[in-house]
Structure 1
Amino acid sequence: MPHMTRLLVLFYGLISYLIFFATILYAIGFVDRLIVPKHIDTGLDGPWATALLVNLALMLIFAVQHSVMARKSFKRWWTQYIPASVERSTYVLLASLSLVLLFWQWQPMSAIIWHIRNEQLATVITGVSLLGWLIVFTSTFLINHFELFGLQQVIQNLSKRNPSAPTFRTPLYYQFVRHPIYLGFIIAFWAAPTMTVGHFLFAAVTTGYIFVGIYFEERDLVDLFGDDYRRYRERVSMLIPWRKSSGVVRSTPRKPVELTTER
């Protein structure tokens, strides 16, 4: 690949990452109804059935893109047409754009399921939601944030370095739950001082999708790591830290334990 092309690949990876970063920041405001011009309950309710179908379709678009493009068979086919160095960046970019579409077209369903009137308690609940987002962000850095979102690949491509050997490791949160990123999302989505029907729909569908994603990811991780991951799965709980940790898992270097198949 010519040097100028490598620079263009790097620029593409950087733009994709910045779009992702802006999107995830907007997602925090969208879910927690903070600052952003349109959050999950913004607007006047329209026909209930229309709102339900539109919102389900928007979440389905994200789920299909997020799952299909993460499959090994799709990546093998896809990288016949694009450089492998931008495969992750392209995945991240399209996932971000599908979320932007969801934010833009989301239909409010503002009937209230529960509402916490006490202001101090409501502030605490919002803080718990923000704690969930913090768990999401810190979990990505505990493994390899920049590889997860495509920057490492384009930087290695620029310097003509082969991808570094992935490693199986379980830092900090991963000693207590196998999927702290997903746990953080669940906390962020459900810790709401005001839960509307629309917010409930969003939280319920995304939580269901998380469990489906975990099923397929763990199957892929067992194929990838074999008995190492089976022992890890027996020792550490999936989402709720109810099992006692017995120390760091050490095994043959291959890939970070956090779920890279569904990303």
Structure 2
Amino acid sequence: MIEWINFSVLFLSLFLFCYFYTLSIQPVKREGKRGERAWKECTILRYLSWFFNLTMCISFLIWIWFPIPFLDWKIHPTYLTCILIGIGLGTPFFIILLKAMKDAGSESLYPSRATIMYGGIYNYIRHPQTLGEFPMFVSLAFFVNSWFLVFLMVVFIIVYPPIMIYYEEKDLVRRFGDDYRDYQQRTGAIFPKIRKKS
């Protein structure tokens, strides 16, 4: 019974994380209907999305003790091996996430009309926080020693980030106009563009 409740919470929190985060990254669109308060509302929506993100991660950990029996596909007989794999996979992405959050500054938490376009790692890729954060869900699935969760998170990061990037970039074009369009031409969304030598 507990495993099915946890399974349901996992999928519900995954959906709600995506829903609230997607709303939080469109403050300019929201501003057209809600006025200046849209920016504060997007901050609240972002915190809500992170709450469901945390709930999803807790559900992952509960899976260790309460997996769905027919989906309990172990990666390795010992958890230590899986933890080491998870650390090895997750560490580079964690470093990218920290760098991206540092370069984005308060915008990571508090969307603001006053924010200018970022520098640092953003000079090379437009969505380094996405590159840093989403693969860590796969790392967490390795920590939990579950091929099912690895598969679920791989599907998740193939499906959701392109949708999220689409909506976020539409709003960033509304916000920054031609400057952002030029920026899109110069940089890759997730990986740096390879520049041809002239």
TM-score for the superposition, normalised by structure 2: 0.69
CA contact (8 A) 1:131 1:188 kept: no
The corresponding residue for 2:189 is 238
Compared with structure 1, are the counterparts of its residues 179 and 89 closer, same or farther at alpha carbon in structure 2 (3 Å cutoff)? closer
Percent of pairs identical after alignment? 20
Distance 2:52 2:58 in 1: 10
The corresponding residue for 2:172 is 221
1:189 maps to which of 137, 140, 146 = 137
Is residue 105 of structure 2 the alignment partner of residue 176 of structure 1?
Answer: no
Distance 1:231 1:79 in 2: 27
Compared with structure 1, are the counterparts of its residues 124 and 236 closer, same or farther at alpha carbon in structure 2 (3 Å cutoff)? same
Residue 170 of structure 1 aligns with an amino acid whose one-letter code is G
Compared with structure 1, are the counterparts of its residues 237 and 52 closer, same or farther at alpha carbon in structure 2 (3 Å cutoff)? same
Provide the aligned length of Structure 1 versus Structure 2. 185
Distance 1:176 1:244 in 2: 11
Compared with structure 1, are the counterparts of its residues 176 and 121 closer, same or farther at alpha carbon in structure 2 (3 Å cutoff)? farther
Aligned-pair distance for 1:216? 1.1
Compared with structure 1, are the counterparts of its residues 164 and 240 closer, same or farther at alpha carbon in structure 2 (3 Å cutoff)? closer
The corresponding residue for 1:148 is 108
Give the structure with the larger helix fraction. 2
Residue 149 of structure 1 aligns with an amino acid whose one-letter code is L
Q: Secondary structure at the match of 2:191?
A: coil
Residue 61 of structure 1 aligns with an amino acid whose one-letter code is L
CA contact (8 A) 1:236 1:245 kept: no
Uncovered stretches (5+) of structure 1, i.e. residues with no partner:
1-43, 154-162, 247-263
Residue 90 of structure 1 aligns with an amino acid whose one-letter code is I
Q: State the superposition RMSD in angstroms.
A: 3.8
Larger radius of gyration: 1
State the Cα deviation string for residues 103-147 of structure 1 (Å, max 9, x = none): 455554563375598x88973652330221221122111121x34
Uncovered stretches (5+) of structure 2, i.e. residues with no partner:
none
1:46-85 matched pairs, under 5 angstroms: 46=3, 54-72=9-27, 73-74=29-30
